[in-house]
Structures are given as C-alpha cells and as structure tokens.
Structure 1
Amino acid sequence: MVVLLADDMGWNSVGYHNAEFQTPNIDSIAADGMTLNRFYVAPMCSPTRAGLMTGRYPIRFGCARAVIPPYRDFGLPTSEVTLPEMLATLGYENRGIFGKWHLGHRRAKWHPLAQGFTHFHGHYNGAIDYFELSRDGVRDWHVGYETSDQQGYATDLIAETAAEWIVESAKADAPYFCYVPFNAPHSPYQAPDDAIAQYGNLPDAQGRNEKQREIYKAMIGRMDEGVGRILKAIELTGEADNTMVWFFSDNGGVGNLRGINQPLKGSKLTVFEGGTRVPACVRWPAKIKAGQSCDVVCGYIDLLPTLVAIAGGKSQSLTDKPLDGINLVPDWTSTSADGSERAWFSYHGQSGPDSEQLAIIQNGWKLIVNGPQLTDIKQLKDGSHQVRLFHLDQDLNETSNLVKEKPKKVNQLARQLIEHRALQPADAVPPYGVGSAGFVPPPLWKLDPANPDELVGGYPAK
C-alpha cells in the first residue's frame, strides 16, 4: 500500500484536469486505475492528516480547528489508534513515512515512530525551506529521531528515499505500507532552476503572484517526477499488480494563484468546493479496472477503514472509538454502489470561535454557515452568519444560493452542523496565532525518545 499526498495542490493543478500542468506520472495513476471525482479533505493540512491517520473526523479529538504551527505544544493524541498501528496487527511489518508529518513535533510521544510507523525520513513542520531543509531558520530534517545532514531539494529527497525503501521492504516476506506526504507544492515557492525552465514560464510572468504561479507549476512537475520514481520502484518489486497506489492533495490550492482550483469556487482555508474537493485517484490493477471513475462522496477519513479492510481486518474491531470513515472497496468494485445518503462535514476555525466556517453535504445538497460558533439554529436568523445553500447535483460550482427557496432544508442540515460542531473538546488545538510571539525553536528540532513527554523549544525568560 502506497499513499501519496500532495500539499496545497488545487483541483485544476493536475494534468488530467488541466494540460497546463505537466503531471504524466500522476495522470498514469488515474488512467491505469480510478479517478475519485468527489473526494473531500479538510480545508487545511494538519486536520486532513489527522483524519487520514484515524478514520475519524479530527474535530472529535481536537485536531480540526487549526494546523499545528511550530510553536504549538499539541499533537495527535496518543489515545487515538492510527492506521499504521492497525496495519501492524495485520502483518504489515514495514510501515514507512517519507516527508511532512505535521501532527505534533514538540514532544517525542507525537513522533511518527511513536504513532505506529517503523521508519521516518523527513520533516516535522510544514512550510520548510526546500533547499535548506529548515523551518524558522532551524534545520528540520530527520531519519527516525536523529537529525540528518542530508543535502538536496526536499521533494527529490522524499521521493528517492521512499523509492529505495519500497524496493528494500518488498524483499521481506510481508506486505508494506508506505506513506509519502510531500511538502510540495506548499509555499515557500522554491524549485530548482532546471525544473522552472522545464515546467514554468517565469520570464514572461508579470507580477509577484504570476511568478509564484510559474514556480508552483515547477514544484508540481518536480513532485510528479518523484511520483514516477516511486512508481518505477513498485514495478521493480514485481508486485505492481497487487500494490495499491492512492494519490490526493491535503486541501485545495491557495487563493492568490490564478485558476488553480477552477472551475470550483473557493480555495484553501474555505469550506467551498475549491477548498475541500481535491484531485484524487487510486490504482490497484488486481482489483480496479483501468479507466474507471467514481462519483461517490468520499474522502480522507475513508483511507483507514478502506486500507484495513484490504489488509484483511475490521477497523472497528481494532479501536473502541467511533469511526466516521467507510470502506470504499464496494464503491470501487460495484456499479450499484450508492453513497448518496451519507452526510459529509467540513469545518475551519483557524482564527477562533468568532469566525468559523461549517459545511455539510448530503443527498446532493450543501449548506455552508460562516460566522461565530454555531450553537443554536436561531443564530441563522439574527444576521450574525452568512448562510448559503447549494444543490450540488445541479450546481457543483456553488453559484446559486437557495436559502430563501428552501428554508426547511436549511434547518434540517443546520441541526446536523450544530451537532457536528459540538463534538470539539475544550482542550482542542488553539487558534493559529495563539502563542507565536517570542517562540524559540529547539536546536535542530531534536526530540528525545527516552523522554517522550519532554517539551522542546520555548520562549526566552522574561
């Protein structure tokens, strides 16, 4: 099992949606397998990663409000049972992660090796410098718990080490799980000169955003080359037919780069389709015929139950916590599969409870409520919230607000949103900016596995 995760890659930023972007290797996963046309994620990255690892909406355990920035003393709760932990009980001896973790980095108890993985090669924080391999001026590049002095372009290093690990892991008499969360194409916008020359058109770009967009294209092109290395490694194992490869982005593209989410409305950090519906495809030659397409609503929380089922287990028997994800294999292998009754929730509250975004999709309808924390349906009529209702079956790009025409539908869906928002515990991750002033990163972002609860990094004495 190989899961490839892009970072901030918009709907319109993959070749099989837009020929301007050169992604032949990603395109081959779609062509040789199945495109997931209604695949949803959280509107920002840490929550998507948390839901992927647990099969649960991250709001349940406090990981939904905001991402985990460098100064945050917070991580994926160790009480959660993760995907690699479940796979370990099902014979997956080698479970590697290559790239960006972003689920806790200031205590060793949140390290990937403490959360079910057997091998880690990459960085703890998001938004690292791609060449210096650093965050906030401090090197953030590791193999296991040890800081690595490896040099190179982050995207290349991630792909190369993942490919090498796949070839070695396949030699064992056991299946493997390889998770490759690329940092690309997240900012800072950095790419090797040869990649910019090959994939971008920097000399003709006018203005800062247009220049960044050309570098963004180069970052995606270089990431696609890395995907190609990984696919080649899978071929070398001789097990390509029975190796599942799943590709998607952790959220939609940013809003300041022209057209990268078109024709969808919105962008990263919004609950519009452009922020939460991402390019996704899966290849599994032994089970999925080439050239298939799936329009069932599905997403990040479905990876755990799907992969555990493929591994021969039952995810709910491996945890006592309620799961929100479902096994998608029946939807992939049956023409009569119907996921239309399922409610799908999105939430974003990075600036705090005074300004939140909630959305629910069910039976072709989508309700979006933006404003202060939603606790009572009466709030929808006091002027404090923006309320939008779309019929996605007829208006996938969210252009016609039907709130006035369908008040009963609004109330029905809003009640479900209130219940979902109420799941967030009091000790959830704080709003993004809390605690940022004066933070001093730890040297080399180093963690000590012998002291898993020790807090690293902090603030200068007053």
Structure 2
Amino acid sequence: MFIRACSAVGIVIALLFCDASADEQSSTASRRAATPDLLPNIVVILADDLGWNSVGYQNKEFLTPHIDSLVASGITLNRFYVAPMCSPTRAGVLTGRYPIRFGCARAVIPPYRDFGLPTSEVTLAEMLSTLGYENRGIFGKWHLGHRRAKWHPLAQGFTHFHGHYNGAIDYFDLSRDDVRDWHVGYDALDEKGYATDLIADAAAKWIKQSAASDAPYFCYVPFNAPHSPFQAPDDAIELYGNLSEVTGRDNKHREIYKAMIGRMDEGIGRILDSVEASGESENTVVWFFSDNGGVGKLRGINKPLKGSKLTVFEGGIRVPACVRWPAKIAAGRSTEVVCGYIDILPTLVAVAGGQCANFTEKPIDGIDLTSVLEEPGSTVVSRPWFSYHGQSGPSSEHLAIIDKGWKLVVNGPQLTDVSQLRKGAHLIRLFHLEQDLNETNNLAREKPKKVNQLAEQLVDHRALQPPDAVLPYGIGQAGFVPPPLWSLDPTDPDQLVGRHETAASK
C-alpha cells in the first residue's frame, strides 16, 4: 500500500527515491505505513439524544462496553458542548460555525420544511476531499435538508450515503410519515432490518472497502439511536432492559431506551472491529459524542446535570464525548477544557494537514483542539460559548452563554436589547459553573452587572440569525404530503419534492 502522506512528504520521497524501481518505492512506503507523518483515517460517530448519564463509564446501569473502550483508550472530553437539538448540531459539526450564522439554529428540519444546509457553506467533507480523503461516507441520519437534491449529502461533499434523510424514522419499517425513507445515494433501497444494525453494518463494510485504498477515508456515522420512537428488537430488550418489572409508559420507554443504546454500542463495536481488521487502528481518529442531551421524560438519564434536550441547561447541551487516536493520544486521559461540536471541523482539518482559511473566508467559530488532545494539561484561549434555540417561535426562545467560568441562561421572548430583561418577561439564571457545574444556585439577583455583561454578548449572538432562517417547528405541518419514497432527482437539484394540500384542494 502506498503511504498516505501530506504532499510535502510525497515530494521528499520522490526526490530521495527517484532512481529506485516502483517495487522498491512501494516496499519503502509499506515500511512507513505506521509513521506519524501519515494522514489518519477519520471516523466520527454521533449518537442521537444520548443522555449524560446513559453510558456505562458514567452509569453501570447502561451497558456500553465499546463506548467505554473508546474512553479507556483515548481522551474523555468532560466539558463537550453541542446544540440543544438535532439539526443545529449536525450543521455545526460539518461547518465549524455556529449554525445561527446561516439560519440552521432556531429549529430542527422537520419533514415538511423546504430548508437545508446552505450550499454556500463549505463542509468538512468538502475540505477533506481536497486534502487527500478520496472516500467520504455517511451512514445514518442526515437531517440537514431533504426536499431538494442540492441539500443531499452527495451534493455536500460526501461520496457515499447510506441511511435516511429525516429524523425519528420507524426503526423497523424505515419510514417517516408512513413513507419509506431509506436510501443508498439518491436511490431508494429495499433493505430489511433494524435501522441501527443496518447503519453499523453498512459503515463497517464500507470501512473495510475504503481501507484497501491508497488514500485515507472519512467515515461519518450519525446514528438515529436512541432517539424516539422507542423501539428495539425483543432480544435487545431482554438483554439490556427489564420491562417485566416496570409500570407506566415513560418507565417502559426508559427500559427500551437502554436496549436501543446497547444495540447501538454493539454496532459501534462492529465498526471498531472493522477499523482494527484493516490494520490501521493506530492511525485512525475515532470521535464519539451525542447531538444533544437526553429527553426530559426519561428518569435520570442526564443526572446529575440540570435540564434536558431542548433546554440550554447543562443536561441539554453537555454530552458524553471522547476521542481515540492511538498514534497521538495517550490512553485514559481526560480534560475539562470547554469545547464542542463547532471545534470538530477545524481540529480534523488540522489533523489532515490543512487550514480552514484556505477553504473559506467566512468566520470559523470552532478552534483546533489538537494540542488539547495530544498534550496533557494543554488548554485553549478563553472564549465565550453560545447556545440557542427558538423552536417554538420568537415568543419563547432559549439562550445561554458560558464565559470565564460563568453561565447566563435567558428564556423568554426574542432578546434584542438588554433593557428587555428589566421588564420581567424573561427567566434569568446566572451560575458560577466553576463552583456549581450542576446549576443549582442562581446568582442573578446578586450579580446584576455580570448579568448585563453576559446578556450584551447574547444580544449580539442572537442578532446573527438571518431573516431567511429555518422557521419555527410547527409552521407548515398541516396538509403536507411526502414524495413517494422521499425521492430526489439529482439532475434537477432545485426541484422541490412533496407538496402541501389545503382542505379545498383535497
């Protein structure tokens, strides 16, 4: 196998061995196959609605040996933050930018929404494509636009897609709104099985195929699990849950949720086995995290953190996360550095030998975390960290900022001026996270100057949202009719699929 190196390394090799035969060059390259100068393979694994307290290394009630193995063999990111819901986190991961900048922060993208990740954004897959990553696959849930082909993963830098466009699909019949949503590329796929198993198996198979290439690969695995609907195979429920000893719908859902996580962990194990079998595990980056916290109705899954999905408290935005890269990251480490989803792109681009500034003039909000990952005790320059969503509309929005050990949470009408906070329409909470990471002591009344200082930054952040941002969640739902098999035509990337029927038109 030829070496997978930066262009400069390739030039040096060419000069040193210009008189050698092709066989000798290939042999030399093979002998260098484990050197740190080579570009690593990249595997990003994203869980969906996985609570802080829903992994084995945090809570032995949940059986996740393969996730736990990643923690044991890599670095745990104890202060890793994401958006409070699905689509915005995915948008931030792929762009390195706060999704509010391009209208993807207010709400998720539901089936009836004519909206997607703007094609003007430069994605991680597109950047890696120019850095030598010829194979760039995505397996699982897209959730970044599905009603026009221009928003399809294959139009956003990926070379292979296997999975579903929408969130919250049925795990067994692979449908959303009673229409099957399961695809390879642009084509509907008549494949049977449990969604989590199909995603993991497809990713593992693709890794095996891609590892045979001379080029490094990028494998992105956004599982739909353990997002609702709460569905798991009977054998998984028997192994991981205990329905016979619980009553009440939410308690039963919690047991199924455990089974969904266990089944996902099994799939992660098969993906890791495929990496190991390739012989390139040492130089493969594996980054695992959740897209937001767990849902609030399932008891204790974010404990001891306050809040849940769709809130900007810690339980909604702080998630389990770890990175394994044996060639560069010492096993068993952890860090308290504040970091998160927008940092993944600049970090992986740096790992691949590139610089974000070479791909876009737009501001990249994330930072390169390679020093944090590789150097024990390393920190980053202090920066404010923002969280936002307005899924219900401008009358009820959720904003938070973490800065220099403090956190301000503001819930209420759209915030355009700090003076609004004196009118009593907002719930205002100020926490000193360095001393109160679980947000138990509200200091807002005692520290009005600190509230105003942080609120000014929240006003500026909220003002970034463009007028053509994704609409609040419920708008446009009535009368929507999905396209057959959620079909998209790549030859007409702007064509809108699906339609809305009014009472008069039915």
TM-score range, shorter chain: over 0.9
The DSSP-based 3-state class of the residue aligned with 2:71 is helix
Instruction: Flag the structure with larger Rg.
Output: 2
One-letter identity of the residue aligned with 1:113:
L
Distance 1:367 1:460 in 2: 43
Match of 2:16 in 1: none
One-letter identity of the residue aligned with 1:421:
R
Match of 2:453 in 1: 412
The DSSP-based 3-state class of the residue aligned with 1:244 is strand
Give 1:446 deviation, angstroms: 0.5
Give the structure-1-normalised TM-score: 0.99
Matched, 1:78 2:128: no
Matched, 1:193 2:248: no
Matched, 1:286 2:327: yes
Match of 1:110 in 2: 151
Match of 1:375 in 2: 416
Match of 1:143 in 2: 184
The DSSP-based 3-state class of the residue aligned with 2:208 is helix
One-letter identity of the residue aligned with 2:160:
H
* Counterpart among 437, 440, 449 of residue 478 in structure 2: 437
Distance 1:103 1:398 in 2: 32
* Counterpart among 201, 205, 214 of residue 160 in structure 1: 201
* Counterpart among 39, 47, 51 of residue 92 in structure 2: 51
Distance 2:381 2:445 in 1: 24
Match of 1:26 in 2: 67
Unmatched tracts of structure 2, length 5 or more: 1-41
* Counterpart among 364, 367, 385 of residue 323 in structure 1: 364
Paired residues of 1:98 and 1:122 also in contact (CA < 8 A):
yes
* Counterpart among 78, 85, 102 of residue 37 in structure 1: 78
Paired residues of 1:2 and 1:245 also in contact (CA < 8 A):
yes
* Counterpart among 476, 489, 496 of residue 455 in structure 1: 496
The total of aligned residue pairs comes to 462
Paired residues of 1:354 and 1:372 also in contact (CA < 8 A):
yes
Matched, 1:277 2:341: no
Q: Deviations over 1:284-322 (max 9, x none)?
A: 000000000011000000010000000000012211111
Match of 1:128 in 2: 169
Match of 1:66 in 2: 107
Match of 1:234 in 2: 275
Matched, 1:215 2:256: yes
Distance 1:93 1:51 in 2: 22
Distance 1:143 1:352 in 2: 35
The DSSP-based 3-state class of the residue aligned with 1:378 is helix
Give 1:205 deviation, angstroms: 1.1
Unmatched tracts of structure 1, length 5 or more: none
Matched, 1:7 2:48: yes
Distance 2:122 2:489 in 1: 22
The DSSP-based 3-state class of the residue aligned with 1:395 is coil
Distance 1:272 1:209 in 2: 22
Distance 2:259 2:319 in 1: 19
Match of 1:391 in 2: 432
Distance 1:386 1:331 in 2: 35
Matched, 1:180 2:221: yes
Report the aligned-residue RMSD.
0.7
The DSSP-based 3-state class of the residue aligned with 2:128 is helix
One-letter identity of the residue aligned with 1:35:
T
One-letter identity of the residue aligned with 2:364:
L
Give 1:77 deviation, angstroms: 0.2
* Counterpart among 341, 349, 373 of residue 390 in structure 2: 349
The DSSP-based 3-state class of the residue aligned with 1:257 is coil
One-letter identity of the residue aligned with 1:245:
V
Give 1:338 deviation, angstroms: 2.5
Give 1:336 deviation, angstroms: 4.4
Match of 1:427 in 2: 468
Deviates most, 87-96 or 379-388: 379-388
Q: Deviations over 1:190-247 (max 9, x none)?
A: 0000000000001111100000000000000000000000000000110000000010
Give 1:460 deviation, angstroms: 2.5
Paired residues of 1:340 and 1:364 also in contact (CA < 8 A):
no
One-letter identity of the residue aligned with 2:65:
P
- Percent identity over the alignment is 76
Paired residues of 1:356 and 1:373 also in contact (CA < 8 A):
yes
